[in-house]
Amino acid sequence: MLNVVIMAGGSGERFWPKSREKSPKQLLSIGSKNTMLQETVKRAEALTSPKNIFIVTRIGLEGEIQKQVSYIPKENIINEPFARNTAAAIGLANIIIQKRDKDSITVVLPADHIIKDIRQFKKTIAAASKATKEGRLVTIGIKPSYPETGYGYIHRGDEIGSGSPSIFKVKEFREKPDLKTARKYFKKGGYYWNSGMFVWTTKRIEEAFKEYMPKLHNALKVIENSLSSPLRDKVIKEEYEKLEKISIDRGVMERAENVSVVEGLFDWNDVGSWLALEKVYKKDDDGNIVAGDHVGIDTKNCILMGEGSPITTIGVSDLIVVNTGDVVLVCKKTEAQKVKELLKQIKKNKKLTLTLS
């Protein structure tokens, strides 16, 4: 059986102020009339049936998620009591799936990616699934289209087999590089963006947790024993609280043997910042991307996102302007990554924090 775990607990801070604590990026419509979660579930349905689709999220979002994808069984929506990064989230989903299906292949998909070519996506997952039968932990790599510094990179090793898409051994995972290094990777080739999509068997990932993250493994065992008990939520909370915040990449993938990468041949956009909209929306004749009402004079190459109320501009270029009604963001395009930093500053201001995060 193939199960899909959709990771939908993220906060999408770099997409603030449209993305908020209670309505993060994955629950918003970006580049589609559906929300990013709805689109992700649609992709998952191309792989398996709704009863085999699991959504891991954080407490507080489950109501909105059930509303958005009401045909996913309620019991498949897994609430994390605390944010403990991807290793814990994947571990928790894994024991819940294992309880039902000891011999599952699991596909892990972030809920906030835009992928339009479902045919190539299916083909990639099929190749990865096949590779899991040899006990491989498979990650999906995206061929860089420019030297991005905001992603981790995967340095591929030898090709395994000769299918399409190609599968390679992973030589090394690389942290987010500086621009010079990113340019080197880009020029040299053989490096992929680490997309955060994974394929493995429940058994294999459990073994990996046991070997490389024994504390997490122990906690998961305790939780596993409580899954049918009325104390389930209490136990999850107790165990979670103690866990380290660590990603699956750091906790498992970088340490494990037998890690492979499949080249994802589909289009891919993780909407990692406001700038990502340039690849999702069409520009007008002045190079502007406009959502909502806009009236401008001498306005060029801007991203203008009004919600309800209009944005007006005079003599500006290369700006991101977002109006969500309760706050306005005006940001130089090249500084879009600093939205996270801005949010930190807002959080320091008690008065603003209440309404803006």
The burial class, CB within 10 Å (0-12 / 13-18 / 19+), for 333 is middle
Judged by CB under 8 A, does residue 99 bind its own copies?
no
Which residue blocks in the chain are alpha helix, DSSP H? Answer: 36-45, 62-68, 85-100, 118-132, 179-188, 202-212, 214-226, 232-242, 248, 339-348, 350-356
Binding map of its own copies across residues 273-312, x = CB under 8 A, - = no contact: --------------------x-xxxx-------x--xxxx
Binding map of its own copies across residues 180-219, x = CB under 8 A, - = no contact: ----------------------------------------
DSSP label at residue 224: H
Q: How many helices (H) and strands (E) does the chain have?
A: 11, 15
Looking at beta carbons only, is 94 or 273 nearer to its own copies?
Answer: 273
Looking at beta carbons only, is 222 or 352 nearer to its own copies?
Answer: 352
Candidate ranges 148-156, 194-202, 224-232, 347-355; the one touching its own copies (CB under 8 A): 347-355
Asked if 45 and 3 count as a contact pair (C-beta separation under 8 A), the reply is no
Cα–Cα dist 226/236, whole Å:
8
Instruction: Count interface residues toward its own copies (CB under 8 A).
Output: 39
- Radius of gyration for the chain, computed over Cα atoms and rounded to the nearest angstrom: 21
Which residues 306-345 are close enough to bind its own copies by CB under 8 A? 306, 309-316, 319, 321, 323, 325-332, 334-336, 338-339, 341-342, 345
Which residues 224-283 are close enough to bind its own copies by CB under 8 A? none
Cα–Cα dist 129/143, whole Å:
20
Residues that bind its own copies (CB under 8 A): 17, 293, 295-298, 306, 309-316, 319, 321, 323, 325-332, 334-336, 338-339, 341-342, 345-346, 349, 351-352, 356
